[in-house]
Amino acid sequence: MGLGIKCMVEECHHNQNKVCAADSIEVTSSMGRQVNSSDGTACKTFKPKQ
């Protein structure tokens, strides 16, 4: 199941018991800017639950 990556976003389709079940993930910097902490990053793999 997934990559063993913790996920606390309960609204995401890939979140299964607080673990990401996606086959892969893509993380980018928010707004294309240089970041110095995780606050400036965004998970592009997010998919809302139906």
Q: For residue 19, what pLDDT is reported?
A: 95
Task: Specify whether the CB–CB gap between 6 and 24 falls below 8 A.
Answer: no
Does any domain span residue 48?
no
What is the count of structural domains for the chain?
1
pLDDT digits (tens, 9 = 90+) for 19-31: 999 999 999 997 7
Does any domain span residue 49?
no
pLDDT digits (tens, 9 = 90+) for 1-50: 456 899 999 999 999 999 999 999 999 997 777 888 888 888 999 999 98
Measuring CA to CA, which residue among 11, 40, 15 is closest to residue 25?
Answer: 15
Q: Print the domain residue range for 10.
A: 5-43
Backbone angles phi, psi at 29, to 5 degrees: -80, 140
Element (H, E) at 27: strand 27-29
Does any domain span residue 32?
yes
